[in-house]
A and B are shown apart, each in its own frame.
Chain A
Amino acid sequence: MALNRRDFLKLATVDGAVGAAAAGSTMLAADTASAQLLQRPPRPMPEEAVGLLYDSTLCIGCRACQVACKRANGMPIDIPETYEAWNGGTWDTPTDLSGDTLTVIQVYQDGTMEVKDRETDGFAFIKRQCMHCTDASCISVCPVSAMTKDPVTGVVTHHPDRCIGCRYCVLACPFGVPRYEFDNPFGQIQKCQLCTNVPDRDIPACADVCPTGATLYGRTTDLQQEAERRLGMAPGETYRFPRGALGDDRASHEAPIAHYQSAVYGEQILGGTQVRMLAGVPFADLGMPHDVPDYSYASITEGIQHTLYKYFIAPAVLLAGLVYFAYKNARSHRPEDWD
């Protein structure tokens, strides 16, 4: 390890033809040895953060959430090109998020698709929408503060009046959430804002209409406890699944506990998300990022930037040096008759 690292430093020095580059490279090269070196500390989740708990095993694929979302956000129907042959144009059949679709139910299918929530010869549903990341990439990359996080609820919202349409958030979001309206000459970015943008809504439309409680709204810490309670029970045991929002007074949905994957998705992944998920099949099958670090990518980028540009000291020193040499050397290149 140590040897490698030293070699690295040497190599980096060879490479740094410019003094500044050499300094920067030494830091960066050293960094490869320990991924933590140029990382800024993780962002904590706000205490009152809210989100959703999506339990794939409860989801019956009715897509009521999808329809309610469209209605709440006043968005048009969405028909993929491949469906146009048989879909005359009245049925909303999105297969993915898009500029017209903020949440979508997708399905995993394998073999004979006999049993729900089974990996082989089974099927399972997954709801896609913004995960409302604790340490969100979209916020970190946006040059003009068009993505912001509510300091109390932690909901990540988008501000089209600020957005310049660079689509860096589209590129960077690890969950593929923000979408741009490419067909509109004045297109904008679209993403779920947990209905904070919808007037007179206290809970998101999707959670409101979900008949089984598969999509449940609440404080993220409470949702996490709820999820852990389900994980702690034996498969087959009967449980009264809350519906709508955690703690509200609607009738619960009684059903047996399914065979869950062992962890709550979203607790740690990429710095944590305020939307949490449970499923019976691996999240990799459901098309969610897996095998990814527990820290957010934003913490790495910002770590690099903050090290190189802390208080703007390094650039200022570099500039001073450059200006000095330029002054000294430009003089000697200057035709004499101008002095």
Chain B
Amino acid sequence: MAKQSDQVHAPVGGRLFTPMFFGLGLLVLVAGFFLFNRFVFGLGSVTNLSDGYPWGIWIAIDLVVGTALGCAGYAVALLVYILNRGEYHPLVRPALLASLFGYALGGAAVMIDLGRYWQGYNMFLPWLSQYNSVMLETALCIAAYITVLMVEFSPVFLERLGMKNIRRRLDKVLFIFIGLGVLLPTMHQSSMGTILVVLGHQLSPLWQTQLLPLLFLTSALFMGFAIVVFEAVLASVGFRRPMEAFILNKLSTVMAWLLLGFVVVRIADLLFRGDIVLAFRANLDALMFWVEIALHVTALVLLWPRRIPASPRRMFLSASTMLAAGAVYRINCYLVGYHPGDGWNYFPSVGEIMVTVGIFALEIMLYLVFVKRLPVLHTVDRAYREEHAAQAREGGAAAVGQAT
């Protein structure tokens, strides 16, 4: 173990203003153009929202899928600090960073989407709080969690600025924030499922169930882990770093179990309620249901623990499939399965799509700036490489030993 934390993490360095960076910046500008219109001419001028579909992709994708992608920090903190799996420690900082952006931008999307955003602060006025509202609970939890993430991530800045004293003091109380950083996502990620329960018959029985909170929580967890793997593989390829293959492989087992649990509960619930018959109709609901299930099962097959550690390519593939699976489930719940009655339909407008694309582009831009300039990723020194090579060998041997 290294003696000092600033030797463990280091900025990757390299040029900031790459062609990719400018490309992303262009997308952000395009989004800015549509946002200008949204604020000057109203939501109707940019979006295809209607009173039948009052929530579109800014909620379903930017917020509901976006924050699930932002569950990287939640999932890893749970492993490292609560279940005490110290070996996953190198994943903590990049995961927290992804979470910070995922949540901050999800929150920004909500502010854009609010029809009366200038009164948005009403949510924080206790005398207006309506405590039966699942949305209030979700919103307050998300706001609190963004704050917690900032605190959890602040050591990175403090290290960079060399403010050791504050860093040390913060360290003494950090465990409280770590606790909160696990509690809050547990609450609001499940609540994002509960939000839909009140829709009753307006949400197809293929998705409407009182298990929505449990299913949303589980999908948030496996999506959180998947984004960690996704990010680690990309970072290793993009920055030509060795991959934490051994760690990631072990993570796959955790993910496989979560995914299995999700699929079993999902199907059992449908069988139990008898609504599985709806999956055998010729309509969009049924099609999207099977797409959702197929993605989950494919990811599960790709992930299923095996003797030989999976190749980076396979890991990347399974992580992407998992992310797609979770995203489709969430979009199905929030948009596809929602039936407000005859005469309504919704498909996102170009403006809506470009704003969503812009938000994700901004996320990637910020991520690149941060890892290049701040101590986020683990340093790749020789000792570290050797240590991990040894671990991988041992681990591989152990795995074979276990299997036989």
Report A's interface with B, CB cutoff 8 A. Answer: 4, 7-8, 11-12, 14-18, 20-21, 24-25, 28-29, 31-32, 35, 38, 96-99, 137, 139-145, 160-168, 170-172, 174, 176, 178-189, 270, 287, 289, 291-293, 297-298, 300-302, 304-305, 308-309, 315, 318-319, 322-338
Contacts and interface: CB of A to CB of B under 8 A. Distances in A.
Nearest to A304: B194
Contacts of A319: 179-180, 183
A273 to B, nearest CB: 14
B66 to A, nearest CB: 17
Interface string B59-93: 00000000000000000001011101010010000
Contacts of A333: 80-81, 86, 89
B340 A176 contact: yes
B49 A182 contact: yes
B132 A185 contact: no
B114 A165 contact: yes
A145 B130 contact: yes
Contacts of A170: 51, 54
Contact of B197 (A145, A189, A301): A301
B184 to A, nearest CB: 9
B178 A166 contact: no
Interface stretch (B100-108, B236-244, B255-263): B255-263
B162 interface: no
Q: A-B pairs with the 10 shortest C-beta distances?
A: A165-B115, A15-B261, A182-B44, A165-B116, A323-B179, A143-B136, A167-B54, A322-B179, A326-B178, A297-B200
Interface of B: 1-5, 8, 39-45, 47, 49-52, 54-55, 78, 80-82, 84, 86, 89, 113-120, 122-123, 125, 128-130, 132-137, 139, 168, 171, 174-176, 178-180, 182-183, 186-187, 190-191, 194-195, 197-202, 209-211, 213-214, 217-218, 221, 254, 257-258, 260-262, 264-265, 268-269, 272-273, 338, 340-343
B261 A185 contact: no
Contacts of B1: 335
B218 A21 contact: yes
Given A162-B122, A176-B340, A334 B171 contact: yes
A304 B197 contact: yes
Given A29-B211, A164-B117, A335-B5, 15 more contacts: A14-B260, A15-B261, A142-B133, A144-B128, A162-B122, A166-B135, A167-B54, A186-B42, A289-B201, A302-B132, A304-B194, A309-B137, A322-B179, A323-B175, A332-B84
